Amino acid sequence: MGGWERFAETFLNAKVMERYWPDIVAGLGTTIELAALIVLSGLAAGLALAVLRSFGVRVVNWAIVFVVDLFRALPPLVIIVLIYFGLPSIDVVPSGFVSTWLSLALVLMAFSEEIFWAGITAIPRGQWEAARSTGLGFGETLAHVILPQALRITIPPLTNRTIAITKGTALGSVVAVTEILGQASSAVSNSYNPSPLTLGAAAYLVLFLPVVIFGRWVERKFR
Amino acid sequence: MIQAKGIHKQFGALHVLKGVDLDVAERELVFIIGPSGSGKSTMLRCLNRLEVPTAGSVVVDGIDLLDPRTDLNHARQRIGMVFQSFNLYPHMTALGNVTLALRKVAGKSRAEADEIGHAALARVGLAERADHRPGQLSGGQQQRVAIARAIALEPRVMLFDEPTSALDPELVGSVLGVMRSLRESGMTMVVVSHEMGFARAAADRVLFMDDGLIVEQGPPAQIFEAPVHARTRGFISQIQRH
Ligand SMILES: Nc1ncnc2c1ncn2[C@@H]1O[C@H](COP(=O)(O)OP(=O)(O)OP(=O)(O)O)[C@@H](O)[C@H]1O
Ligand SMILES: [Mg+2]
């Protein structure tokens, strides 16, 4: 057997791929579901914290900064493992799926809060003053004058950070989530052949390559 | 219309206003001049509570601005303010800038607000620019949109903080023209500016501020031609040389 045949037999084994591709597609579905939940809840929580921070209550802001720094400093896998293996000891038993969702949503919340906050503080003070001088309240000024401008400048960094964190869904395989990598790994141990990993990589490309290209477009459009 | 008494303002250790009294009658145009850092902007901003005085009282159109029970957002609609740097909302059209507070604070429907907004833009000579963004307008046009944004709310008083000093000289005239027509319509105005020509033509009274106090005040002719205080004389001769 030549080098190329051995390579193909190992990584592009047609029989194994045929047998396991439905599992990988199921994993792709789980990854998409997980990613969507992380993006929606993580960004919503991040924006909520940034808005809360703009009220300027000192104790609240200390708490926000502490939480944000905590989740920016901890490796995402450590958070997942802590939640999955730690919480059951206080009788909360989250599934692997929920542990992964919660962990990555918290990480995205932390990073996006910083990005939203930077956007809010980048808007000149004169915008606040002009709006307040016409009788707009704090919340109305924030909603109609500050946030529309702030969100626009946050879109490029936010897109990049969101993509980076969403790829972390692969970490779910460590806590038995049947997402792409999880499905591929078990297929590998059942078939004694790594070809399912090739399929898994292809599935990640199908999912994330368009997102990355979209991110590049967003970056150009909004910068 | 405005009764401000014993206004003090401190920023930490910095004592910026040291007991300023300012009464402005209805339909009066009061001009404030003075060197940089003398507290002119701070004083003006106390009149709509963008700055909260450390001590003193501010009553505008019968409303005590420092009373915690005062509905500040309601009061501020009666006090228009125009800033040196325009501060238009860059993500909205000229009409959007003018109608935002009408819709969100004055509770007008979009149709009503648009009608009032178009009228306000027409008053400042910008009826044709309603759909332009601030970035597509000249400085003079932007400042006139800012004036329209304030007058659309039908304020009882207008405050101007150096409305022409960020403008190229050839654009100053259009803004002063709008201010003059406001003046002729009987608007009560407080104007911080060094436009001496405008002051001579339109001001009832000129105040000279220095180091957090009103040093001298009187009709424009008196302040510009026969100032009593040495500091006023020094300042007037200095700006007349420019
Ligand atoms: N928010 C603030 N915090 C600290 N110091 C301030 C603040 N606002 C103004 N000051 C200070 O108060 C002093 C008076 O400022 P103000 O803007 O009222 O002066 P001005 O007479 O308007 O000057 P200019 O002609 O340069 O506009 C200045 O020394 C300024 O640095
Ligand atoms: Mg000033």
- Give the binding-site residues of ligand 1, using a 6 Å CB cut-off: B 11, 14, 16, 34, 36-42
The residue written with tokens 């964190």 in the block is: A165
What pLDDT is attached to residue A6? 86
Query: Among the atoms of ligand 1, which is closest to the Cα of residue B11?
Result: 4
The ipTM (two decimal places) reads: 0.91
How many other CB atoms sit within 10 Å of the CB of residue A167? 17
User: Could you give the angle at which helices B110-123 and B139-151 cross, rounded to 10 degrees?
Assistant: 130
Query: Among the atoms of ligand 1, which is closest to the Cα of residue B9?
Result: 12
Taking the centre of ligand 2 as the mean of its atom positions, its distance from the CA of residue B38, in whole angstroms, is: 8
Q: Are B73 and A135 within 8 A, CB to CB?
A: yes
Picking from B75, B85, B101, the nearest residue to A126 by CB comes out as: B85
Contacts of B210-219 spanning 24+ positions with Cβ under 8 A: B210/B34, B210/B35, B210/B38, B210/B235, B211/B18, B211/B38, B211/B39, B212/B9, B212/B15, B212/B16, B212/B17, B212/B18, B212/B19, B212/B20, B212/B38, B212/B39, B213/B18, B213/B19, B213/B20, B214/B20, B214/B21, B214/B22, B215/B34
Domain extents in chain A: 21-222
Q: Are B159 and B44 within 8 A, CB to CB?
A: yes
N-term to C-term CA, chain A: 54
**Closest ligand to the CA of B12:** 1
User: Could you give the angle at which helices A96-122 and A14-54 cross, rounded to 10 degrees?
Assistant: 40
Superfamily for domain range A21-222: MetI-like (1.10.3720.10)
What pLDDT is attached to residue B171? 86
For testing the chain A interface, which of B52, B92, B100 should be mutated: the one with the most A CBs within 10 Å?
B100
User: A147 to chain B: nearest residue by CA?
Assistant: B91
B79 interfacial to chain A (CB closer than 8 Å): yes
Compute the 3-state secondary structure of chain A and give helix, strand, coil in percent, each to the nearest 5.
85, 0, 15
pLDDT tens, position by position, B37-55:
999 999 999 999 999 999 9
Query: Would you call B89 and A126 a contact, using CB atoms and an 8 Å cutoff?
Result: no
Instruction: Mark out the alpha helices in chain B (DSSP H runs).
Output: 40-46, 72-76, 94-104, 110-123, 139-151, 169-184, 196-202, 220-225, 230-240
pLDDT tens, position by position, A135-165:
999 999 999 999 999 998 898 889 888 888 8
Query: Among the atoms of ligand 1, which is closest to the Cα of residue B212?
Result: 14
Distance CA A48, CA A79 (A): 22
Distance of CA A5 to the CA centre of its chain: 39
Residue type, B42: T
Q: Residue B11: which H helix or E strand, with range?
A: strand B2-11
Q: Are B22 and B30 within 8 A, CB to CB?
A: yes
CA distance A45 to chain B (A): 25
pLDDT tens, position by position, B132-189:
999 999 999 999 999 999 999 999 999 999 999 988 888 898 999 999 999 999 999 9
In chain B, residues with a C-beta closer than 8 Å to the C-beta of A131 are 89, 100-101
B82 interfacial to chain A (CB closer than 8 Å): no
In chain A, residues with a C-beta closer than 8 Å to the C-beta of B88 are 130
Query: Would you call A130 and B146 a contact, using CB atoms and an 8 Å cutoff?
Result: yes
Taking the centre of ligand 2 as the mean of its atom positions, its distance from the CA of residue A186, in whole angstroms, is: 70
User: A129 to chain B: nearest residue by CA?
Assistant: B50
pLDDT tens, position by position, A48-101:
999 999 999 999 999 999 999 999 999 999 999 999 999 888 888 889 999 999
What pLDDT is attached to residue A1? 63
What pLDDT is attached to residue B146? 96
**Given pLDDT bands bounded at 50, 70 and 90, which one contains residue A223?**
low
37-66 in B: which are within 8 Å (CB) of A? Answer: 48, 50
